[in-house]
Amino acid sequence: MDYQAREITILKNDEFRMLLAAAGIDEWYGIDLDEAGQSLGDERSFNEILAALYQKHIISWGEEKAHIDDRYRPLMRVLKDASVCVTAVTVFRPGYIKGSYFSRGNAVVIERRTASSDELEISMLPFSEWADELEAEGYCPQTLSPEEDDDTADSGEELISEFELRSLPGGVLKQTIRLYECGLYGMIEMDDGSGKIREPFSRDMLTELLKEWTGGNE
């Protein structure tokens, strides 16, 4: 897959669920698929979904059976091998959740086309580009870094975004990161369920935390 010209695939819930089943992924966490855990319907519905995937060139035929097309195998391999999922929300995109799945330094990103849509936008990109995208889409506060003795750092606090790390399979919540704007400054809050740690925000610090979460250096 060409990372220079990032490809976005649009699938409906049931199409994506069939693709997950074809890849041998029987547990799913992160982006809600609404009907997750239900069957794919009767034979007619099954064939209609299969035909839609074929028309989108996501599956191909060979040896009298359907296969995931070669272009999509790396993407599905990341989803199958992922040991963590990171979900992210921001006040600048109300109703949206960005779900990201990681393996071998790559990320598969899944989002809804609109907050209430049954269509998903799915793409794959290297970890470094994924981290850059967070800033471009407003997940990082546009702030300065406060001096340690600056008393204004905690004034006018506003939650900008929140990230949740969940282990796979199982979907167990491991840690939460919250990013705040505090006047001119930003803060990172790390919460592992047993206590919270706060530090002045910096893009480098956030990137390193997310690398630790996702194996972004691998």
As a whole number, the mean pLDDT across the chain is 84
**Per-residue pLDDT at 122:** 94
Query: Which of the 8 DSSP states describes residue 194?
Result: S
Residue 13 included in any domain: yes
Could you list the residue range(s) of the whole structural domain that residue 165 is in? 9-214
Pair of tokens at residue 119: 């269509």
What's the pTM value of the predicted model, to 2 decimals?
Answer: 0.83
Number of domains in the chain: 1
**pLDDT above 80 (res 110):** yes
Q: What is the pLDDT of residue 67?
A: 86
Nearest to 190 by CA among 205, 170, 176: 176
Please give the average per-residue pLDDT across 10-33, as a whole number. 88
Q: Is residue 195 part of a domain?
A: yes
> 202-211 burial, b for 16+ CB within 10 Å, e for fewer?
eeeebbebbb
Closest CA to 202 of 142, 115, 113, 156: 142
**pLDDT tens digits, one per residue of 116-175:** 678 899 999 999 899 888 888 889 887 765 554 455 445 578 999 999 999 888 888 999
Question: Has residue 196 been placed in a domain?
Answer: yes
Amino acid at 9: T
Residue 2 lies in a domain: no
Residue 1 falls inside a structural domain: no
In a domain, 3, yes or no: no
Position 117 scores a pLDDT of 78
Place of tokens 């999922």: 85
The pLDDT-based confidence of 189 (bands split at 50, 70, 90) is: very high
